[in-house]
Amino acid sequence: MKHLSNYLIFMLLACLSVSVLASGLKVRVFERGGNAPLSGVAVCLGTSARLDQFGASRTDDSGYAIFNDIPQGPLLVTASRSGFKAVQENIVTSNMDRMLVISLSSGGGGSQCEVGSGIVSQQTGGLDISHFAINNGASQTEERSVTLDNRVDGDPNQFRASERADLRDTQWQDYSGNAPFMLSSEAGRKVVYFQVRRHATINGADLEVLSPVVHDSISLRP
């Protein structure tokens, strides 16, 4: 290759492991013109409207910033560090893990990725449901209408729930920490499955980050 970008060496590697819902991105940063990796570089993964929408991290001593469970579609990577010119690169992720190698030149300016100072921290686009209970953990109910009480680590904007474990044909609804749900009419033990996501439509592409599916049960009295 005769000519390299002034700011970026871009490399995509397909890995053997495949995730149906999301993939991982590994970013490695070097100083332009040298072989030494750069630590402490702020790396954001998101969109032009919100640079860190799907995560923000600082590179470690080996120059790596790693993002797990990222959505598939067009994303914007921003890398910045004091004393260097910031770099932005548009990428398109798929259902396979990727690697992006970035080269920063000395100087300043450009869009800045903001990550808290101090110990290197990583935030991924993942969502984790830390609490889920039907009617605040009640063991039984006489009413079919119940609430799905939940707490989520992350920033979901939609949820879906079903008595089907595969959640097939279940519609997404606006997220609520006390989501309403209607149990099926037959009396007996009911198991409800619950999932949240962060969803956005950008440039015509649907991007989503999904949580694991959790469940709880309650008995419907006749």
Tokens of 113: 């990725």
pLDDT value of residue 204: 56
- In degrees, rounded to 5, the angle at the alpha carbon of residue 26 between the alpha carbons of residues 24 and 28 is 170
User: Is residue 2 one of the residues assigned to a domain?
Assistant: no
Under the banding of pLDDT at 50, 70 and 90, the label for residue 216 is: very high
Residues with Cβ within 8 Å of residue 49, at least 6 apart in sequence: none
pLDDT value of residue 159: 96
Give the global pTM.
0.49
**Can you give the CATH number for the domain in which 47 is found?**
2.60.40.10
Boundary of a domain, candidates 99, 123, 147: 123
Query: Residue 102 is part of which domain span?
Result: 23-123
What does the pLDDT look like over 89-122, one tens digit per residue?
998 877 777 889 999 988 878 888 887 543 333 3
pLDDT value of residue 136: 94
pLDDT value of residue 116: 58
**Can you give the CATH number for the domain in which 178 is found?**
2.60.40
User: Is residue 8 one of the residues assigned to a domain?
Assistant: no
Do residues 136 and 98 share a domain? no
Under the banding of pLDDT at 50, 70 and 90, the label for residue 143 is: very high
CA 119 to chain centre: 21
What is the total count of domains within the chain? 2
What does the pLDDT look like over 146-204, one tens digit per residue?
999 999 988 899 999 999 998 888 999 999 999 999 999 999 999 999 999 888 765 55
Distance CA(47)–CA(24), nearest Å, equals: 17
Under the banding of pLDDT at 50, 70 and 90, the label for residue 206 is: low
Do residues 47 and 118 share a domain? yes
Burial 157-185 (b: 16+ CB within 10 A, else e): ebbbbbeeeeeeeeeeeebeeebebebee
Please report which helix (H) or strand (E) contains residue 41, including its range: none
